[in-house]
Amino acid sequence: NAGVTQTPKFRILKIGQSMTLQCAQDMNHNYMYWYRQDPGMGLKLIYYSVGAGITDKGEVPNGYNVSRSTTEDFPLRLELAAPSQTSVYFCASSPYNEQFFGPGTRLTVL
């Protein structure tokens, strides 16, 4: 099993550009999550999903969108990138409590 995979590993965006961060899991987990991690701030939940077709906002959803068309995939869309979105983004999946994290995507918006 590959676990949770994320692409790309690194990306530099210009202000106003858009991009999609990809996340996939092969563990057949129902729950999937997107977090952002900023220095000294821990992990903040952006969006989560309890199954295909069902998503909900987390603590910091502004500026992001998600979709979940399959159990395996949970892409995160950034529209009109802003410098405040410079962060490391982690995707996670979970059968219930324990969450399994991907390796992260480091995004810089200049």
Partner 1 sequence: QQQVKQSPQSLIVQKGGISIINCAYENTAFDYFPWYQQFPGKGPALLIAIRPDVSEKKEGRFTISFNKSAKQFSLHIMDSQPGDSATYFCAADGATTGTASKLTFGTGTRLQVTL
Contact positions toward partner 1, by CB under 8 A? 4, 31, 33, 40-45, 48, 50, 56, 58, 90, 92, 94, 96-104
The least distance separating partner 1 from the CB of residue 8, rounded to whole angstroms, comes to 14
Phi-psi region of 30 (alpha: psi -120 to 50; beta: other; left: phi over 0): alpha
Nearer to partner 1, 17 or 37 (CB): 37
The least distance separating partner 1 from the CB of residue 104, rounded to whole angstroms, comes to 6
Cβ partners under 8 Å of residue 77, min gap 6? 18, 19, 20, 21, 64, 65, 66, 67
Helix or strand or coil: residue 85? helix
The least distance separating partner 1 from the CB of residue 6, rounded to whole angstroms, comes to 8
